[in-house]
Amino acid sequence: MASVFPFRALRPTPASAASVAAVPYDVVTTEEARQLAGGNPLSFLHVSRPELGLPPDTNPYADVVYETARRNFEALKSNAPLVLEDTPSLYLYRLQMGSHVQTGIAGGYSVDEYDRDIIRKHEKTRKDKEDDRTRHIVDLRAQTGPVFLTYPAVAAINSVSDRIAQSSPLFDFAAADGVRHTVWRLDAPEAAEIVNLLAAVPLLYIADGHHRAASASRARRQIGGGASEANTFLAVAFPHDQMQVLPYNRTVKDLRGSRPGEFLEALSATHQVSPGPASPARKGEVSMFLAGHWYTVALNAPEAGASASARLDVSLLHDQILEPLLGIGDVRVDKRIDFLGGARGTSGLERAVGSGAAAVAFSMFPVDVSDLMTISDAGDIMPPKSTWFEPKLRDGLLSHVI
């Protein structure tokens, strides 16, 4: 069963919600965060990325960074202001990006279920990133950014969500990127209905936020079991059929000594290559930008018996092209490969190659959510930078005080 628990959210007032709401801490660089928060003292980036207000050479893991986060959090509570709800509740969180709409359940999800793999993972975490968010949680005594979960869609939950969405929302605003964020606070009967319906869902899956979830588990161990709120972590769970996955594209800095024509000839010797569009039409194809031209590359079929992870296009690209032809090893550490995800699109790939920052770029067909579930169920790990979920939840709208 999947458990969700009402919690007393720390949240901005409706009037300040749009100013407080900020993109997730880990989708922007420090410089991008500095630009987004510039001129907006209420931006939650001052809490989630406190180094943006410190000297540029500051170590992002220095004590002063976490001290600044705590001070900024306390200041924001007064200046926004942030309000702590009198009673626990669940929330409905709707994201709208153009014609795409998805509606999720925001609440406290079980750390025990995370530890027992009832909440499934598909990604390895890095210790330095876990250390960072664990300390952030412990020093602030709050989880300030929601984990992005998904679950097999349930018609009854959708019906309840649709009914609640007919009422007046707590927050409703369009962010600077055009994404509309709407949040409803559920009353006690509605929350109880959702809790009961979700209890029939056997498993939850982390779509985005593996480090946040792992850090919530570690923070509970540091704080101790006496802090009951630390037994849950802040998350929003969406039905799987409402999720939108965008491509996570690749650029490679050089052709390992080959000229573009030589590389194209070597690739054509092992794969079907033809002129094509900037985005692949189907799974099993990759679009390649080389020397000012787009090509469609048909990936070779995976070996019989290959795992679900090994059958992904990103795995086939690596195993058939990036490693043997371009010498790309572990993409987690290889400095010759870079990634461009989400709504930045194929124009960013063309710019990277056109400017000389990359020699070749690969535009991917997006992974399906069902692939993520299959791989998670098998206890397997997806390759790095396989999925880019869009639109993103915003930090600061709902925080969980522990």
Identity of residue 166: Q
Contact 123, 209 (CB under 8 A): no
Interior angle at CA 17, CA 11 and CA 20, nearest 5: 85
Residues 338-350 have pLDDT tens digits of 999 877 789 999 9
Phi, psi (degrees; rounded to nearest 5) at 307: -70, 165
Strand pairing of 100-110 and 4-5? antiparallel
C-alpha triplet 288, 290, 295: angle, nearest 5° = 40
Instruction: Please name which of 289, 317, 313, 365 lies closest in space to residue 326, comparing C-alpha atoms.
Output: 317
Of 123, 132, 137, nearest to 206 by C-alpha is: 123
Q: Is the pLDDT of residue 239 over 80?
A: yes
pLDDT higher than threshold 90 for residue 19: yes
Residue 321: both structure tokens together: 């092209």
Q: Could you tell me the CA-to-CA distances from 273 to 31, 166, 260 in Å, in that order?
A: 39, 51, 14
User: What pLDDT score was predicted for residue 122?
Assistant: 95
**297 contacts 361 by C-beta, under 8 angstroms:** no
pLDDT given at position 195: 98
Identify the pLDDT of residue 378.
95
Query: Over the stretch 263-315, which tens digit does the pLDDT of each residue have?
Result: 999 999 999 999 999 999 999 999 999 999 999 999 999 999 999 999 999 99
pTM over 0.75: yes
Sequence letter at residue 143? Q
Instruction: Say yes or no to pLDDT of 84 above 90.
Output: yes
How many whole angstroms separate alpha carbon 72 and alpha carbon 131? Answer: 20
> Is residue 228 exposed (0-12), middle (13-18) or buried (19+ Cβ within 10 Å)?
exposed
| Half-sphere exposure at residue 12, Cβ-oriented, CA atoms within 13 angstroms | 26
Q: How many CA atoms lie within 13 A of 377 on its CB side?
A: 11
Long-range contacts (CB closer than 8 Å, 24 or more residues apart) made by 345-350: 346/249, 346/278, 346/279, 346/287, 346/289, 348/249, 349/249, 349/251, 349/278, 349/289, 350/278, 350/289
pLDDT computed for residue 314 by the predictor: 97
Over the range 191-223, which residues count as b (16 or more CB within 10 Å of their CB) and which as e?
Answer: bebbbebbeebebbbbbbbbbbbbbbbbbbeee
The pLDDT value given to residue 243: 97
**227 pLDDT above the threshold of 80:** no
Lowest mean pLDDT among 157-166, 219-228, 238-247, 260-269: 219-228
Match 């790095």 to its residue by tokens: 384
Give the pLDDT confidence score for residue 292 in this predicted structure: 97
Distance CA 385, CA 26 (A): 13
The runs of H, that is alpha helices, within 80-175 are: 111-115, 127-140, 155-164
State the Cα–Cα distance between residues 272 and 324, nearest whole angstrom. Answer: 16
SS3 content of the chain, % helix, strand, coil (to 5): 35, 25, 40
pLDDT in tens, 122-155: 999 999 999 999 999 999 999 999 999 999 999 9
pLDDT digits (tens, 9 = 90+) for 181-216: 999 999 999 999 999 999 999 999 999 999 999 999
* Pair of tokens at residue 399: 């925080």
Count other Cβ atoms within 10 Å, centred on residue 19.
16
pLDDT value of position 225: 64
